[in-house]
Structure 1
């Protein structure tokens, strides 16, 4: 495995892009082929997951539709004010492509499933009495500093970028939620936690089969970069993932995250952004940012594991709904 970032595209750094720019981006992404690299990295240790699963995850950036080329529709950025916020410091964020070209990995999922799911988030936040802001990007790619678009092919790297888009607007406590998340209890408590914790996310301490989830070369690389042992790490989940963006320590984590994105290769795994963030947050200087609290266990639960009413009564904040299946 050489040291070149296989996900990079050649695009001018700027804050806004035209239809022609996006068509150029799409064309470059379509030309990317990392199949030989992935086949070289995949081994018997990874066989808990099919090769198609790894390929599907690692190529998701190449397959996303940033604009609707048929209707020539540019990306949409919408900041929603929900209820009567007591301040302008709290924001929930999410972003999705308009669609994604399916592979064997996600052939049964509607290509627009994440876009469709994201349209239900506002309704759910209103239903639970949330008073705050919700920042939603559909299409395009979070580009807070004007340099991120060249990283559009790096799988699942967009969550931190989207949180920085909210910080750019002046928000201080920012919570990412995946597009399938449907609010079933008011998430205000999570922002209150970020007053005295730098982070709010679920971390799993033990029984993490990193050999199955991560290519050995990626493990070696992450261990070298972070000077830690991934096998000893508490796993960081990012389905619901909150940060206090004012924290100097969080700023340092984000700086190191950008270095990982620029390198690209650390994102070669079955759960790309979670493995990278796991490696970073488990560095000795950042490990105290992992909090084990009751609230972190109630951030979200998938609807296949618990029906909505039960999840709501038990205090879960979000129900992760199944994505729309293809017809």
Structure 2
């Protein structure tokens, strides 16, 4: 068992990464249905929460079926982060997570996300303020970060010790620097060093490039992490969670989802999207997911074009049924 504060997770838990414009409640629902053990909201701007911005506030929506669920916040100012942590804690998540890893320009170049890797004292002070802010709520604080800003400043080992010392209760490390963005291969060697450090007692989760059950188990054995966080590999393929668990337990690969399973999961995602976002936005924002759900299927382009052009839910369901009936026995290209 892996513990984060009072949260009890199974051995080697699988975490769903917080992904901007992806990890919303509809997407989280399909990942939970397929075995995700701990999930996070999209990252939420501390400034947006303090200003009571509608988009930021909506990202605080969490549901009991998602638990355990963490709210992730980001920002550059300590006081704003402290206030937003208290606002987030008040809606009743299971933990508060701090983003010290986002590499994108409009976050990092404004002093938030991975930018804090260039100012460890400020990162420590910010984390400490957030730990104290959510103490009355009894919530653990966790952190997601990267190896460092660039190859010459890979300081995540120091970060791990200092954050643990001021109350961080779990750490997820993406195996790239900020400068790398998402390019090249993730390097987990420093993640292993953190895990092997006898001073480190909190759970250490690895993130980066896990896209098959075999790789998940290989990295578990090679790097000794307490669990793994999965991001891009789950987009349009929430079955990655159940496949990893099955392979870990049996050493055998599960058969890939059938066409009907893909359609059913896509429908579930669409249903939740309409429920949470309303008709117009629910239909519009679902469009980004169709290509991923049907990746590798033959002759699916024309269906996908029709799905992204219609604004009628009944027609969308009909097209999905048509795909299921037409491609029932098709093989998925790897």
TM-score, structure 2 normalization: 0.28
Larger Rg: 2
Name the structure where helix makes up a greater proportion of residues: 2
- Does 1 or 2 have the higher relative contact order (CA < 8 Å, sep 6+)? 1
TM-score, structure 1 normalization: 0.28
